[in-house]
Amino acid sequence: MRVAVIGAGVIGLSSALCIHEQFHGLVPSLELEVYADHFTPHTTSDGAAGLWQPYLSDHGNLQETLWNKETFDYLLGHLHSPAAEEMGLFLISGYNLFTEPVPDPSWKNIVLGFRNLTPKELELFPGYSYGWFNTALMLEGRSYLPWLTNRLTQRGVKFFHKKVESFQELFSQGVDVVLNCSGMRAGDLQPDPELQPGRGQIIKVLAPWVKHFIITHDLKSGIYKSPYIIPGSEFTVLGGIYQHGNWSEENSAKDHKSIWDSCCRLLPALQKAKIVGEWSGLRPARPSVRLERESIRLGNLQAEVIHNYGHGGFGITIHWGCAMAAARLFGNILQEKKQLASPPGPRL
């Protein structure tokens, strides 16, 4: 049973690990391969700050809220393990700021210690009259992806540095199941007009005195269009750009100025911070995550694709819940092919 995962960002690697952990013992013939044109540190996941926080509203998408919760609980369970530092996992607290009262988010009971801000705390943020404080998690891609890669390598998973041009290409090589975790490039494999880039740009600075995340919200503009500051283990990320439909991965001077000015207004001490980098990336945005099976007829064969893409700006936040859902779909495929109950049969 050959399974090919397309994509080596947080979604591809975690789905691969989840499937291998659950099924390698049950399916002795299971061979897992990861194909990608970009590996860490050049994936979209590497550029993300790594803060676990869903969008403000789940738009009634309870499934995604559940996947977010599963991810948070899974990560929280790993917090005290010796692997935590290697994974880039740690607790972080901080502020969400608004210019008007807003309803509590779907994730208020998932995070720790969620509460409204007191008037004295709001004095820190002139211009904002309402806000939340909570403790959440950081999972830094630059550490988590190598950690996932190591776990997969230990398990005998093979990696191939190539751009897959079509699902057909893999099936004709004898792959039985494809996991499509191609993120922003999913449209190259199968057109999907609902998948659009949500371009972001960030400035990396040295500001080690900042111990909290600070995320501002402008309800009229939309998510991530208002300044945010997220302190990591090595540097602090300044951001506040979300441009729907913009495919450019070049840093823009105009966006740089917008991020810098707005973040320095939010935290005046940042004016003294040293800039150590800048990055632009494309959030693979979709009205909802595409996580579903697709059976493709190829001659007299039935090939299976599990799609797992379109996680927008919350990939790290939702990744493990989605990986487990993808693993469940894989389990269904195995059932149907009677691979689970019976010994390895002749290959299709």
Partner 1 sequence: MASPKVAVVGAGVIGLSTALCITETCPSCSVTVLSDQFSPNTTSDVAAGMLIPHTYPDTPIHRQKQWFKETFTYLFAISNSAEASEAGIHLVSGWQVFKSAPKEELPFWSDIVLGFRPMSEAELQKFPQHQFGQAFTTLKCDCPPYLLWLEKRLKATGTQMYTRKVADLWELHSEYDVVVNCAGMGAHQLVGDKQLFPVRGQVLKVHAPWVKHFIRDGDGLTYIYPGIHRVTLGGTREKGSWSLSPDPGTTRDIFDRCCSLEPSLRGAQDIEVKVGLRPSRQCVRVQREVLSQGAVKLPVVHNYGHGAGGFSVHRGTANEAAHLVGECISALQGSSSRAKL
- Binding-site residues for FAD, please? 44-45, 49-51, 164, 312-317
Over the window 57 to 96, marking each residue x when it contacts partner 1 by CB under 8 A and - when it does not, the resulting string is: ----------------------xxxx-xx--x-xxxx---
In whole angstroms, how close is the CB of 21 to partner 1 at the nearest point?
23
CA distance 217 to 228: 9
- Parallel/antiparallel/unpaired status of strands 212-216 and 228-231: antiparallel
Amino acid at 223: I
Contacts of 331 (CB under 8 A, 6+ apart): 22, 23, 340
Instruction: Please report, in range form, the residues annotated as the binding site for D-serine.
Output: 228, 283, 313
Q: Which of 59, 115, 155, 257 binds partner 1 (CB under 8 A)?
A: 115
In angstroms, what CA-CA distances link 58 with 104, 141, 284? 12, 24, 17
By CB under 8 A, residue 268 contacts partner 1: yes
By CB under 8 A, residue 233 contacts partner 1: yes
Q: Pick between residue 150 and residue 295 the one whose CB is nearest to partner 1.
A: 150
> Considering all CA atoms of the chain, what is the largest pairwise distance in Å, rounded to the nearest integer?
70
By CB under 8 A, residue 41 contacts partner 1: no
Ramachandran region, residue 88 (left: φ > 0; alpha: ψ -120 to 50; beta: rest) = left
Structure tokens at 196: 């659009």
In whole angstroms, how close is the CB of 189 to partner 1 at the nearest point?
37
Any idea what the Cα angle at residue 212 is, between residues 208 and 213, rounded to 5°? 110
CA distance 213 to 226: 14
Number of residues that bind partner 1 (CB under 8 A): 37
Q: Pick between residue 117 and residue 306 the one whose CB is nearest to partner 1.
A: 117
Q: Interface with partner 1 by CB under 8 A: which range of 12-20, 29-37, 203-211, 282-290?
A: 203-211
CA distance 311 to 269: 33
Q: Which of 29, 150, 172, 271 binds partner 1 (CB under 8 A)?
A: 271
Contacts of 251 (CB under 8 A, 6+ apart): 201, 278, 279, 280
Q: Which of 194, 234, 292, 336 binds partner 1 (CB under 8 A)?
A: 234
In whole angstroms, how close is the CB of 178 to partner 1 at the nearest point?
36
Binding-site ranges for partner 1 (CB under 8 A): 79-82, 84-85, 88, 90-93, 112-113, 115, 117-118, 120-121, 123-124, 133, 135, 138, 207-212, 231, 233-234, 268-269, 271-273
